[in-house]
Amino acid sequence: MKKMLPVLLLVLLIFVPVTAGGSPLYSPTWGFRIDPPEDYEFSGGDGKNTFSFAAPSGARLDLAVYSQGSGRNQYQSAEALAKDVQRRLSGSGGIDTFEYRRKQAAIMELSFSAGKEMSGWGLCIELGDAQRSNAKHPFLLALAYGPAELKDLQYLYFSVLDSVIPEDSDRHYPGPVTDYSYPREKRKLMNLAGLDAEAWFYEEDAEAAQALVDREFAVLRRYASSPVWKEAWTRFYRAIYRDSYDRLIHAAFIVERKLNVPPLENRDFADSLLKWVQSFKYERDLLGSDFVNLVSAAVEGRGDCDSRALLWAVMLNQADIPAAIMVSREYSHAMGLAELPGSGAHFTLEGKQWLVAETTAKVSIGLIGANVSDISGWLGIVFE
């Protein structure tokens, strides 16, 4: 995204509503969520225990819920379910087990024939937290696959499986595929850019967060010319927000402690936090995802407008100040949004008035450039 002009014509505006993208799919019966791209359409299943989806690309997604225990369609472990799936598919491919947030999980490679050769990946994961009770929780089976010759769909399968949220407490934590690929094992203190302060991160956080950004950008590029490009953009930022939230919990606490002493009114704290991200080095990667992961942004003080806006929004939400972002393909720009009182440019989203925050020019909250004020060029994205 392009940097704002050094000199802004500042204006105060009231924006009218703009519709945001779709939301993750939710099972009220079992309590899990999953966030496939918008062009995945329901193609079969009973709508309660089994679900199938198909995309124009040839990608497929099958979901089924199984009980733990003995008897038909019941399994003692995630590994047992994965092995039985491979048997029923007459398929080949490795199976690896791991623990995700105190839940049993298994990931498996898929290679089977269904009229034609198919390949992909599967995830078996426990629903609910087994360590909070003696109850045996059901397993979710998620299979993401497609024609074997379509090699470019592999990262899409990982993206879909990584979007699984087994229970509500997992919605602010990296997804199961990312957690499996980059297990968070050892913490270390890292300096926060420009604040003379340190925060705890896991050693793998920055690398894992950037890997997710790059993968999700590859998915996003598939929808650049699609009628659902707005939904694709929303999903891209939603995936980053979820992955980054827990990685930044201690950093957000330390930043608030540094910038909110003595205690400030919410608007003043939001403005103070805005000045911090405005101080970052402007950086773009035109050959890659063009998005600096939020861990690197916080500790290295660098990033484009959308990295800064999303970091600002994450930290405000962690301070119990409702925040969101707005992005524009027309302007190649992004800004922050916060549900705060007072004068300034506002954006109406989901029936609420959000104060706009420019993250790349050193101006106060509520002030933006007249050259980016056309409401039709903006898409608002709410995360909470």
What is the rounded CA–CA span in Å between residue 360 and residue 299?
Answer: 17
What is the rounded CA–CA span in Å between residue 295 and residue 307?
Answer: 10
- 21 pLDDT band (50/70/90 cuts)? very low
Q: Are 31 and 168 in contact (CB under 8 A)?
A: yes
Q: Are 128 and 167 in contact (CB under 8 A)?
A: yes
| pLDDT confidence of residue 287 | 55
| pLDDT confidence of residue 283 | 77
The helix-helix angle for 249-259 and 266-278 (nearest 10°) equals 110
Structure tokens at 275: 């000045």
- Say yes or no to pLDDT of 19 above 50: no
What is the rounded CA–CA span in Å between residue 320 and residue 322?
Answer: 6
What is the rounded CA–CA span in Å between residue 160 and residue 39?
Answer: 12
- 322 pLDDT band (50/70/90 cuts)? very high
Nearest to 16 by CA among 349, 338, 325, 322: 349
Ordered by start, the domain boundaries in the chain are 10-21+187-382, 26-164
> What order do you get walking across the sheet with 379-382 strand by strand?
346-349, 352-357, 333-338, 323-328, 379-382
- Say yes or no to pLDDT of 71 above 80: no
- Weakest mean pLDDT among 18-22, 321-325, 327-331, 358-362: 18-22
CATH classification of 10-21+187-382 is 2.30.30, yes or no?
Answer: no
Cα within 13 Å of Cα(247), Cβ side: 31
Predicted confidence (pLDDT) per residue in 238-254, tens digit? 999 999 999 999 999 99
Three-state SS annotation for the chain:
CCCCCCCCCEECCECCCCCCCCCCEECCCCCCEECCCCCCEEEECCCCCEEEEECCCCCEEEEEEEEECCCCCEECCHHHHHHHHHHHHCCCCCEEEEEECCEEEEEEEEEEECCCEEEEEEEEEECCCHHHCCCCCCEEEEEEEEECCCHHHHHHHHHHHHCCECCHHHCCCCCHHHHHHCCCCCEEEEEECCCCEEEEEECCHHHHHHHHHHHHHHHHHCCCCCCCHHHHHHHHHHHHHHHHHHHCHHHHHHHHHHHCCCCCCHHHHHHHHHHHHHCCEECCCCCCCCCCCHHHHHHHCEECHHHHHHHHHHHHHHCCCCEEEEEECCCCEEEEEECCCCCCCEEEECCEEEEEECCCCCCCCCCEEHHHCCHHHCEEEECC
| pLDDT confidence of residue 73 | 63
Per-residue pLDDT averaged across 154-165, rounded?
A: 97
- Say yes or no to pLDDT of 91 above 90: no
**For residue 6, is the peptide bond before it cis, meaning its omega torsion is within 30 degrees of 0?**
no
Angle at 234 between CA 7 and CA 316, to 5 degrees: 65
Structure tokens at 103: 């839940």
| pLDDT confidence of residue 289 | 66
- Say yes or no to pLDDT of 5 above 60: no
- What share of the chain in percent tops pLDDT 70? 89
Q: Are 297 and 308 in contact (CB under 8 A)?
A: yes
Per-residue pLDDT averaged across 319-342, rounded?
A: 95
What is the rounded CA–CA span in Å between residue 345 and residue 350?
Answer: 17
- Say yes or no to pLDDT of 132 above 70: no
- Say yes or no to pLDDT of 282 above 80: yes
What is the rounded CA–CA span in Å between residue 292 and residue 306?
Answer: 9
pTM: 0.91
| pLDDT confidence of residue 112 | 94
> CB burial class (10 A; 0-12, 13-18, 19+) of residue 19?
exposed
Distance of CA 346 to the CA centre of its chain: 25
| pLDDT confidence of residue 115 | 87
- Say yes or no to pLDDT of 15 above 50: no
| pLDDT confidence of residue 219 | 96
Q: What is the CATH number of domain 26-164?
A: 3.40.1000.10
Structure tokens at 22: 């779709």
| pLDDT confidence of residue 16 | 30
Per-residue pLDDT averaged across 134-156, rounded?
A: 91
- Say yes or no to pLDDT of 134 above 80: no
- Say yes or no to pLDDT of 316 above 50: yes
Q: Are 146 and 57 in contact (CB under 8 A)?
A: yes
| pLDDT confidence of residue 17 | 33
Predicted confidence (pLDDT) per residue in 168-223, tens digit? 999 999 999 999 999 999 999 999 999 999 999 999 999 999 999 999 999 999 99
End-to-end Cα spacing for the chain: 25
| Number of residues in the chain | 384
- Say yes or no to pLDDT of 39 above 70: yes
